[in-house]
Amino acid sequence: MATLETQQLDDIIVKSRRRMLSLSTSALAGLVLAGVTKKAEAATLMDSDYLNFALNLEYLEANFYNLAVYGETISSLSTPIGITGTGTQGVVVTKGGNNYASCKVPFAYANIKAYATETALEEGRHVSFLRGALSTSAVAQPQIDLFNSFNALAVDAGISPTFDPFASDANFLIGAYVFEDVGVTAYHGAAGALTVAANLGAAAGILAVEAYHAGLVRTSINTLDRASTTPGTLTGYTQKISALRSSLANPSSSPTTQTTNGGIKNADDQGIDNTQMVALEGTSATYPSTTILDADNNSICFSRTPAQILAIVTGNSPAKASGNTGVFFPAGLNGNVN
């Protein structure tokens, strides 16, 4: 039975479509994402297309966290989260095949497990919220790879030949680090394309939650790293991952294009660095600091286009015009932004 919330969300989608149809041809053209797909270039993207793009990413995050905490995909939970919809529905590839319990992280730290548990709940709610907002327009969960993807990224980042994000607290946090900053930049990048105020408000709200997650992941990594027998290892991983994400999203840019908030010269990303010194109240740079914030030198979080996000999550740099497959989405994403 439809609730008041779902009825309101359905009304938002209907109004969005009507408004888009009433716009002039030139205004519509401004909403098209050049370089994403030929299909998207041929048709005007609507709010629902951007929400479906976000839904693909939320399927990815929700499955990662629920596997880490419960050893279950979102569709195999005791109270399943829906994954049906338009497009090709896929399964989740893990190190244990269909033995999802093998992905349950043997958490040694109660606070890290508590964080993971809360995030699993919140990412699942994001999936349900977007599916409710999109109603019958919602895309199905695509094929998701949480095994080969991490191995490939570990090699490309120069970390190791293989990487299991479900092996320990530290590995889990590094796996989470791969996702959370990307989510923040994705919602920031899509905000300007949304045409209905309620949709923009919802996107801003989800962005804020993803930013909370990203900040907590970075703080937790920093804490474990400082307490480890090899301090600098985990933060070093974050720097390599950030450099890889930036290079995938900006293949034609020099790595020194922009000085970030922490002084690291990637185009739009920075890892955790505890070696920087900052100046306070006109003094010399003698105060130790760290880089919990992933932002530019104005302390504004980075923004990425859907094409840049596609390049990161599929490993296609630059994003292909004919559709992107690979890394986390081996069969591609469902929807018009793919």
The answer to the question of residue 23 being in a domain is no
Burial tier of 64 (Cβ tally within 10 Å: 0-12, 13-18, 19+): buried
On whether residue 34 sits in a domain, the answer given is: no
Q: How far apart are the first and last CA of the chain?
A: 32
Q: What does the pLDDT read at residue 106? A: 98
**Residue at 258 is within a domain:** yes
**In-domain check, residue 24:** no
**E-strand spans in 99-213?**
144-145
Q: What whole-number distance in Å separates Cα of residue 142 and Cα of residue 324? A: 13
* Spatial CA neighbour of 205 closest among 187, 219, 190: 187
Q: For the residues of 258-316, what is the DSSP string, one character each?
A: --BTTS---SS-----S--EE--TT--S-EE------BBTTS-B----HHHHHHHHH--
* Residues 13, 137 contacting (CB under 8 angstroms): yes
Distance between CA atoms of residues 111 and 115, nearest Å: 6
333: in domain? no
> Is the residue at 18 inside a domain?
no
Coil, helix or strand at residue 134:
helix
| Inside any domain, residue 13 | no
Task: List the chain pLDDT tens, one digit each, 338 residues.
Answer: 444 444 444 444 444 444 433 333 333 233 334 445 444 444 578 999 999 999 999 999 999 999 999 999 999 999 999 999 999 999 999 998 889 999 999 999 999 999 999 999 999 999 999 999 999 999 999 999 999 999 999 999 999 999 999 999 999 999 999 999 999 999 999 998 999 999 999 999 999 999 999 999 999 999 999 999 999 999 999 999 999 999 999 988 755 555 566 566 688 998 998 877 777 776 777 777 788 889 888 889 999 999 999 999 999 999 998 889 999 999 999 999 99
Q: How far is CA 282 from the centre of its chain?
A: 38
Residue listed under structure tokens 């950030």: 242
Domain that holds residue 52: 47-314
C-alpha–C-alpha distance, residues 70 and 88, integer Å? 26
With tokens 């053209």, the residue in question is 29
Distance CA 331, CA 328 (A): 9
> In sequence order, what are the residues at sequence separation of 6 or more whose Cβ sits closer than 8 angstroms to the Cβ of residue 27?
none
151 in any annotated domain: yes
| Three-class secondary structure of residue 8 per DSSP | helix
Task: Judge if the upstream peptide bond of residue 318 is cis by omega within 30 degrees of 0.
Answer: yes
The answer to whether 186 touches 209, Cβ cutoff 8 Å, is no
DSSP string computed for 238-254: HHHHHHHHHHHH-TTS-
Tens-digit pLDDT profile for residues 183-213: 999 999 999 899 999 999 999 999 999 999 9
pLDDT score for 261? 61
Strands 277-278 and 287-288: antiparallel
Residues paired with 288 in a beta bridge: 277
Residue 291 tokens, joined: 């880089």
pLDDT of residue 260: 60
3-state SS track over 81-103 = CCCCCECCCCCEECCCCCCHHHH
Structure confidence at residue 34 (pLDDT): 40
- State the total domains in the chain: 1
